[in-house]
Structure 1
Amino acid sequence: MKILVTGAAGFIGNELAIALCKKGHKVVGIDNLNNYYTPQLKKDRLARLSSQPLFEFIEISIENRAAMEGLEQEHKFDRIYHLAAQAGVRYSIENPAAYIDSNLVGFGNILELARKQSVQHLIYASSSSVYGENKVQPFSEHHAVDHPVSLYAATKKANEVMAHSYSHLYNIPTTGLRFFTVYGPWGRPDMAPFLFTKAILSDEPIKVFNQGNMLRDFTYIDDIVNGVLQSGDLPPIETKQVDTDNQEQKRSPASSNAPYRVLNIGNSNPVKLMDFIEAIEEASGKQAAKKYMDMQPGDVPVTYANTTLLQELTGYNPSMDIKKGISNTVDWYRKYYQI
């Protein structure tokens, strides 16, 4: 099978490309290596694929329509895993244009590629951020997601709606995966696990937002990749009607006659922020100096995934303990930065 992985130099995309190559698939990875965070980390991730004869990397921005049309003419894909996006909740307040370009225009180009090539399955990254001001826990795909609190979240909600239109109009199987706080070795430098580890090992204070009253459904990268692979092998199918006696599901945004689905992919075990910090302190062998802050704009106090749909579909069963996962992450950080 020939597979396109967008965002192949990114955290999840890179790990996914490695896993797909190990399964014997031909993988074309694309990325624009932008400077949202240091491109060197992205290049070093790509270097991990240098020994994979089944992998080919092409530097492309997905919002570049001409370049994407050229990619479509050069390669025929059976499946697309779309992980490329402008990430980050807070950066979307500072630079909204980047999110419009990559997450909306770029996603439109991905949908067109999927349509023109009649791919067997398009799997794309959504986000737990779409739940926005939802107060019902745990977050379920059956809940409405109409009140995002950041432009980033709004673009991910838009991706789901755009994907549904293509599934409906062109019978393209699409699966949107709502990721919940992914962490682990080779992670993103703008996320809390990396920021806290860097600060603690450098004897610098860490910023603890909302006075530490936060819960996050931290999900280890290996568990995420397993879930992505499992869901990718099971494309949704078109149905004549939504046949269920469950009134919630009849009204659910997750239900559709089109070959379309959205799935939560998380750990279903939210961790208190202070316990998470304690795990990093333990793995680092250092105490953190803490600077307590108010909640940041665009942030939410709790993320908590209901993963019943993914479990029923694939048998998904995340297994990484938070302390072991953090220990692995800190060990990688020390090795990578030679500390």
Structure 2
Amino acid sequence: MKIRKVLVTGSSGFIGFHLCTRLLADGWEVLGVDAMTDYYDVRLKERRQEILMQNAGFRCLNDRIETQGLLKEAMEKFRPDAVIHLAAQAGVRHSIENPESYVEANLIGTFRLLEAIRAFPPAHCLMASTSSVYGANTAMPFTETQKTDTPMSFYAATKKANEAMAHSYAHLYGLPVTMFRFFTVYGPWGRPDMAPFKFTKAILEDRPIDIYNHGDMTRDFTYVTDLADSIVRLIEAVPMRPAAAADVPVGDSLSTVAPFRVVNIGNSKSVRLIDFIAAIETATGRLAIRNYLDMQPGDVPATWADASLLHRLTGDRPQTSVQNGVALFVQWYRDYFGV
């Protein structure tokens, strides 16, 4: 089988690391692009990249995706069969405190990527969106065909903008694009700014954990390797521009005017935050000291994915239970930090 090539932006990030690991295991040649920014401890990113570099099929450019000409030059030289765009400034609350970084990475950076794939088109471009685009929607589970016009944070707004930008390029230039909306991803090598990492760290250090909205929150927690598996399977599900609107299957988010589709990637279960904390307590063997607080600005009380479209396109869907996924994360945390 011919070795295929893929360009992955955000390759040293949490999801990017797991995705590249899976792609390399499947025999892909991977060119990663990562800015190694200091939004959180760079040493974690450096260690992920060191592990990836041990595979001869991986090489990396360490630069910002918004750098003029960077991605276009990389596409011209590497000529990947697929592009997977994960690089972004993440974090709901950080987008309220420092919105300009989201304009640079999420809007300008994505524009640079779209221009690069327009100049050197791959067979398929897959781009990360987020469940945060569902915003104030209350009808659950969330389906890809729901309106997403009420973002609750600037982060969500930039991701909604990415979807609109990508659709326009798909329509104008015939570029096949799949946007995947992921739901509360967790697991080994996770980001220190996210709740699973912060809760585990605090519990093991006998410090209080902050629980917002007084614990009245639910999330569709998705284990990171399940997410990576789903992304890899979606590479082969290339959207095609339909001949007519009537050709779009019921329940499919396929655009009527472009080779463009949006796909949820979630565990299809809405888990109470309190139950997720209980799973961490079981895995650590310690009880949390709980500090209940009001809801934070930009946050939403619940998320829940309808992943039936993902299943129809790939034949699979995420299914790792919270209990198993949390146990694997806590074991990694103990091993990595020696606690």
C-alpha separation between the residues in 2 aligned to 1:157 and 1:53? 36
Q: CA RMSD in A?
A: 1.4
Q: 2:290 — aligned with what?
A: 290
What is the aligned-residue identity percentage?
48
**Equivalent residues of 2:188, 2:332 under 8 A apart:** yes
Q: 1:128 — aligned with what?
A: 131
- Code of the residue aligned with 2:138 in structure 1: it is K
- Code of the residue aligned with 1:114 in structure 2: it is I
Summarize deviations over 1:89-119 as a string: whole Å, max 9, x none: 0000000000000000000011111111111
Structure 2, gaps ≥5 residues long: none
C-alpha separation between the residues in 1 aligned to 2:63 and 2:69? 10
**Equivalent residues of 1:7, 1:30 under 8 A apart:** yes
C-alpha separation between the residues in 2 aligned to 1:167 and 1:73? 19
Q: 2:314 — aligned with what?
A: 314
TM-score (norm 2): 0.96
Question: SS of the residue aligned with 2:53?
Answer: coil
Aligned pair count reads 336
Q: How many Å apart are 1:50 and its aligned residue? A: 2.4
Summarize deviations over 1:167-204 as a string: whole Å, max 9, x none: 10111000000000000001111111001001000111
C-alpha separation between the residues in 1 aligned to 2:43 and 2:307? 34
C-alpha separation between the residues in 2 aligned to 1:143 and 1:319? 23
Larger deviation, residues 235-244 vs 169-178 = 235-244
Summarize deviations over 1:206-242 as a string: whole Å, max 9, x none: 0000000000000001111111011111110111112
**Equivalent residues of 1:144, 1:253 under 8 A apart:** no
**Equivalent residues of 2:310, 2:317 under 8 A apart:** no
Structure 1, gaps ≥5 residues long: none
1:152 to 142, 152, 155: 155
How has the CA–CA distance of structure 1 residues 22 and 211 changed in structure 2, closer, same or farther, with 3 Å as cutoff? same
C-alpha separation between the residues in 2 aligned to 1:301 and 1:14? 29
**Equivalent residues of 1:27, 1:55 under 8 A apart:** yes
1:188 to 170, 179, 191: 191
How has the CA–CA distance of structure 1 residues 28 and 202 changed in structure 2, closer, same or farther, with 3 Å as cutoff? same
**Equivalent residues of 2:264, 2:306 under 8 A apart:** yes
C-alpha separation between the residues in 1 aligned to 2:145 and 2:70? 37
C-alpha separation between the residues in 2 aligned to 1:28 and 1:130? 29
Q: How many Å apart are 1:66 and its aligned residue? A: 3.1
**Equivalent residues of 1:85, 1:103 under 8 A apart:** yes
Q: 2:270 — aligned with what?
A: 270
2:55 to 18, 40, 52: 52
Q: 2:261 — aligned with what?
A: 261
Question: SS of the residue aligned with 1:239?
Answer: coil
Question: SS of the residue aligned with 2:92?
Answer: coil
